[in-house]
Amino acid sequence: MECIFCKIVKKEVKSKIIYEDEDIIAFNDLNPQAPTHILIIPKKHIESIINCKEEDVEILGKLAYTAKKIAEKLNITDFRIVNNCGKKAGQSVFHIHYHFLAGRRMGWPPG
Protein backbone atom coordinates (compact mmCIF):
# COMPACT_ATOMS: atom_id res chain seq x y z
CA MET A 1 0.00 0.00 0.00
CA GLU A 2 1.27 3.45 -0.84
CA CYS A 3 2.56 5.77 1.83
CA ILE A 4 -0.13 8.06 3.27
CA PHE A 5 2.19 11.10 3.16
CA CYS A 6 3.01 10.44 -0.52
CA LYS A 7 -0.76 10.53 -1.11
CA ILE A 8 -0.94 13.88 0.69
CA VAL A 9 1.90 15.15 -1.54
CA LYS A 10 -0.09 14.06 -4.61
CA LYS A 11 -3.30 15.57 -3.13
CA GLU A 12 -4.98 12.16 -3.27
CA VAL A 13 -5.59 12.51 0.47
CA LYS A 14 -6.89 15.83 1.79
CA SER A 15 -4.89 17.88 4.28
CA LYS A 16 -4.81 21.45 5.51
CA ILE A 17 -1.68 22.70 3.76
CA ILE A 18 0.24 25.41 5.59
CA TYR A 19 3.25 25.67 3.28
CA GLU A 20 4.36 24.17 -0.03
CA ASP A 21 7.24 24.56 -2.47
CA GLU A 22 8.87 22.29 -5.06
CA ASP A 23 10.55 20.08 -2.43
CA ILE A 24 8.54 20.41 0.78
CA ILE A 25 4.96 20.33 1.97
CA ALA A 26 3.69 21.15 5.47
CA PHE A 27 0.20 20.38 6.72
CA ASN A 28 -1.76 20.16 9.96
CA ASP A 29 -1.45 16.94 11.95
CA LEU A 30 -4.75 15.03 12.12
CA ASN A 31 -4.28 14.36 15.83
CA PRO A 32 -2.77 17.59 17.22
CA GLN A 33 -0.60 17.39 20.36
CA ALA A 34 -0.41 21.19 20.73
CA PRO A 35 -2.52 24.18 19.60
CA THR A 36 -0.24 24.35 16.54
CA HIS A 37 0.89 20.95 15.26
CA ILE A 38 2.17 20.91 11.71
CA LEU A 39 4.03 18.14 9.90
CA ILE A 40 6.86 19.24 7.63
CA ILE A 41 7.82 16.61 5.07
CA PRO A 42 9.94 16.29 1.93
CA LYS A 43 7.96 15.52 -1.22
CA LYS A 44 10.56 12.84 -1.93
CA HIS A 45 9.79 9.58 -0.14
CA ILE A 46 12.56 8.98 2.40
CA GLU A 47 11.56 6.52 5.13
CA SER A 48 13.45 8.03 8.04
CA ILE A 49 16.69 9.74 9.01
CA ILE A 50 18.38 6.37 9.40
CA ASN A 51 17.50 5.59 5.76
CA CYS A 52 18.56 8.93 4.27
CA LYS A 53 21.51 9.26 1.90
CA GLU A 54 24.15 11.92 1.47
CA GLU A 55 22.20 13.21 -1.56
CA ASP A 56 19.36 14.05 0.88
CA VAL A 57 21.40 16.46 3.00
CA GLU A 58 20.04 19.56 1.26
CA ILE A 59 16.44 18.46 1.60
CA LEU A 60 16.95 17.67 5.30
CA GLY A 61 18.30 21.17 5.83
CA LYS A 62 15.30 22.54 3.99
CA LEU A 63 12.97 20.86 6.49
CA ALA A 64 14.49 22.90 9.31
CA TYR A 65 14.50 26.06 7.23
CA THR A 66 10.80 25.51 6.51
CA ALA A 67 10.16 25.46 10.27
CA LYS A 68 11.63 28.96 10.43
CA LYS A 69 9.48 30.11 7.51
CA ILE A 70 6.33 28.69 9.09
CA ALA A 71 7.17 30.29 12.45
CA GLU A 72 7.57 33.66 10.75
CA LYS A 73 4.38 33.21 8.73
CA LEU A 74 2.37 32.33 11.85
CA ASN A 75 4.14 34.83 14.13
CA ILE A 76 5.43 32.07 16.38
CA THR A 77 8.64 32.65 18.35
CA ASP A 78 8.76 29.51 20.51
CA PHE A 79 8.30 26.07 19.09
CA ARG A 80 9.59 22.52 19.17
CA ILE A 81 10.59 20.34 16.24
CA VAL A 82 10.42 16.59 16.81
CA ASN A 83 11.53 13.76 14.56
CA ASN A 84 10.70 10.23 15.61
CA CYS A 85 13.11 7.82 13.91
CA GLY A 86 12.11 4.16 14.21
CA LYS A 87 9.21 2.35 15.85
CA LYS A 88 10.63 2.38 19.39
CA ALA A 89 11.15 6.14 19.12
CA GLY A 90 7.48 6.57 18.23
CA GLN A 91 7.58 6.70 14.42
CA SER A 92 4.32 5.46 12.94
CA VAL A 93 4.48 6.91 9.41
CA PHE A 94 7.61 5.86 7.53
CA HIS A 95 8.11 9.01 5.45
CA ILE A 96 10.41 11.52 7.18
CA HIS A 97 8.55 14.28 8.96
CA TYR A 98 9.32 16.98 11.48
CA HIS A 99 6.55 17.68 13.95
CA PHE A 100 6.32 21.47 14.45
CA LEU A 101 4.66 22.02 17.83
CA ALA A 102 3.76 25.34 19.40
CA GLY A 103 1.20 27.18 21.48
CA ARG A 104 1.73 25.54 24.84
CA ARG A 105 4.52 25.04 27.36
CA MET A 106 6.64 22.00 26.50
CA GLY A 107 8.08 19.68 29.12
CA TRP A 108 11.57 18.18 29.16
CA PRO A 109 12.64 15.38 28.99
CA PRO A 110 10.05 14.11 26.51
CA GLY A 111 8.13 10.98 27.50
Report d(CA 73, CA 52) in Å as an integer.
Answer: 28
Query: Whole-number minimum distance, CB 44 to ligand AMP, in Å?
Result: 17
Which of 77/92 has CB closer to ligand AMP? 92
Instruction: List residues binding ligand AMP (CB under 6 A).
Output: 4, 13, 15, 29-31, 39, 84, 90-93
Is 99 annotated in the active site? no
Question: How, if at all, do strands 17-20 and 24-28 pair?
Answer: antiparallel
Query: Whole-number minimum distance, CB 18 to ligand AMP, in Å?
Result: 11
Query: Whole-number minimum distance, CB 91 to ligand AMP, in Å?
Result: 4
Which of 75/92 has CB closer to ligand AMP? 92
**C-beta of residue 74 within 8 angstroms of C-beta of residue 38:** no
Write the DSSP string, 29-84: -SS-SSSEEEEEEESS----GGG--GGGHHHHHHHHHHHHHHHHHHT----EEE--
Of 37, 95, 97, 99, catalytic = 97
Active site residues: 97
